[in-house]
Amino acid sequence: MKILILGATGRTGRLLVEEAVKQGYQINVLVRNENKLTVTSASITVFQGIPVNQQELVKAMQGCDAILSTLNISRTSDFPWAALRTPKDFLSGSMKNIIETADELKIKRIIITTAWGTNETKKDIPWWFAWLIDHSNIGYAYRDHEVQEDLLKASSLNYTIVRPSGLTNSLKNKTVMVSLNNVPAPGLTISRKNVALFMLDTLKNNLYQNQCPAIS
């Protein structure tokens, strides 16, 4: 299977590329700066560009069977009030192009990461984190995640919207708890590595089609 990975130079995306190589996928990546790729393999084809540029996106999507995206709104640091690196509508703008191009190229399967705390799950997160979403620059990512979720739900694509809880950099492989409609209530954290493994397992086994699992 050939897959397109978007967000391949991000902290979760790098691990997704690494695990996809180990599992034998043919991989296209669309990156702004290929020097930031941390994995090299004959199974990876690199396209330079950004998904808000549809011409660049079309080239990267050619021949793919599925799309996996860990795109996010980027800030200059993890400080909640740090300035944004990407436009406020980067995610939704990219998703509009993805949906249109996927329809043209007959690609049906897409798995993306957003966050626990988007849309109907905002009421389930701790009050202090909801406050941060409303009062800091963290909120820009959550609000644009919500828009891209709505776009995807209204499309004809076979989607899985993965909503991880707080991301950590642990490399331990732990059992992932999956929550649908807040049952069971998610834990507060999950490692980026486990998110990457969960996305690939979801793709391989055709799980959570047209669902929004929260994972922790």
Q: What is the pLDDT of residues 119-142, one digit of tens each?
A: 999 999 999 999 999 999 999 999
pLDDT band at 201 (very low <50, low <70, confident <90, very high): very high
Task: Give the Cα-Cα-Cα angle 47, 19, 107 (nearest 5 degrees).
Answer: 50
Q: What is the chain's alpha carbon radius of gyration, rounded to the nearest angstrom?
A: 16
Q: What architecture (CATH level 2) is domain 2-215?
A: 3-Layer(aba) Sandwich (3.40)
Q: What is the pLDDT of residues 55-81, one digit of tens each?
A: 999 999 999 999 999 999 999 999 999
Residues in CB range of 94: below 8 A, 6 or more apart = 6, 50, 51, 52, 57, 69, 71, 148
**pLDDT score, position 44:** 98
Average pLDDT, the chain: 97
Query: What is this structure's pTM?
Result: 0.97
Please report which confidence band the pLDDT of residue 155 belongs to, taking 50, 70 and 90 as the band edges. very high
The whole-number average pLDDT for the span 134-162 is 98
pLDDT of residue 105: 97
> Residue 166: helix, strand or coil by DSSP?
strand
Number of H helices, E strands in the chain: 6, 10
Bridge partners, 27 (sequence order) = 3, 44
Helix (H, G, I), strand (E, B) or coil at 149: helix
Q: Where are the domains of the chain?
A: 2-215
User: What digits encode the pLDDT tens for the residues 3-55?
Assistant: 999 999 999 999 999 999 999 999 999 999 999 999 999 999 999 999 999 99
